[in-house]
């Protein structure tokens, strides 16, 4: 194996925040995100659970490192679990983090008690984020004076103000110069890989809840068969007022679904056809 391949597979020491006590819950954010997007959910769940909210590699305050394969990211999560003495945990994964949760559960089912996947299916997706990468490239870090200026520079490529704010939150100042917290070159290089989905073996037989936003295109009619094949004990719940960020757009509905699922598995979720 080449030196580059070794570096891409090396485990990195993830930054995380921990709060609460009880059964462990690990939260994994989506592409371009960070644990800060999930602090509100983590705080709510910490009343009953030991919540471990992580920054994935090349995101937030975790190390920048070569490689963004799901297998490498899964090993990063396992390393956090080992470091904290967590044998098994409930997982919550959104988008990129949802695919990561699926891979982790499939490869290491003995480490996952229950799996909650947020608005993503186990499949390949087209390059929907090209406009986001164009917006990020439009930000002139050399002359940037504020996050508001960055939001203005991104407006030609990303029209939704909330998405521009989400992206601009990843900017930080170091020694008077602005920079992205996430590793933008690595995210670009790995984008084709992260848009794809590793082959799953169907080894995870525990409960798996797929939470979808009714106004999102990420989980569509026809995906039930694929989800059921890869996760035989799965269920799907739709939050009618949500798009791709159900934990933000319908926080109450999201927390209700997750807490009921963690307590009772899929028993509280009757079959819901997507259509």
Tens of pLDDT, residue by residue over 196-223, are 999 999 999 999 999 999 999 999 988 9
Residue 82 CB neighbour total at 10 angstroms: 12
- Backbone phi, psi, residue 115, to 5°: -120, 120
Residue 116 CB neighbour total at 10 angstroms: 24
CA distance 207 to 23: 16
Q: Predicted confidence band at 273 (pLDDT cuts at 50, 70, 90)?
A: low
Classified as helix, coil or strand, 230 is: helix
Element (H, E) at 112: strand 112-118
Q: Predicted confidence band at 1 (pLDDT cuts at 50, 70, 90)?
A: very low
Q: Quick check: 29 and 23 in contact, CB under 8 A? A: no
Alpha-carbon distance values, 94 to 66, 98, 233 (Å): 22, 4, 19
CA distance 260 to 103: 23
- DSSP code at position 53: E
What pLDDT digit, counting tens, does each position of 53-62 carry?
Answer: 999 999 999 9
């Amino acid at each position: 194996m080449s030196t580059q391949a070794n570096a891409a597979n090396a485990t990195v020491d993830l930054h995380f925040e921990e709060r609460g006590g009880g059964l462990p819950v690990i939260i994994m954010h989506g592409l371009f995100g960070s644990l800060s997007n999930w602090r509100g959910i983590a705080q709510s769940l910490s009343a009953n659970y030991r919540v471990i909210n992580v920054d994935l590699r090349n995101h937030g305050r975790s190390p920048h490192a070569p490689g963004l394969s799901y297998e490498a990211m899964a090993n990063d999560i396992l390393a956090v679990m080992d470091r904290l003495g967590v044998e098994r945990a409930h997982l919550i994964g959104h988008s990129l983090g949802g695919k990561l949760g699926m891979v982790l559960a499939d490869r290491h089912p003995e480490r996952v008690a229950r799996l909650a996947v947020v608005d993503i299916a186990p499949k390949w997706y087209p390059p929907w984020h090209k406009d986001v990468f164009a917006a990020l490239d439009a930000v002139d870090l050399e002359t940037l004076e504020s996050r508001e200026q960055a939001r203005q520079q991104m407006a030609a490529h990303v029209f939704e103000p909330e998405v521009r704010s989400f992206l601009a939150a990843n900017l930080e100042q170091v020694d008077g110069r602005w920079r992205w917290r996430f590793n933008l070159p690595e995210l670009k290089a790995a984008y084709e890989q992260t848009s794809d989905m590793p082959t799953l073996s169907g080894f995870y037989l525990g409960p798996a809840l797929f939470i979808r936003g009714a106004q999102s295109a990420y989980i569509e009619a026809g995906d039930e068969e694929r989800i059921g094949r890869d996760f035989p004990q799965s269920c799907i719940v739709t939050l009618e007022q949500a798009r791709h960020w159900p934990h933000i757009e319908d926080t109450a509905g999201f927390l209700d679904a997750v807490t009921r699922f963690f307590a009772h598995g899929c028993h509280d979720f009757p079959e819901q056809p997507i259509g």
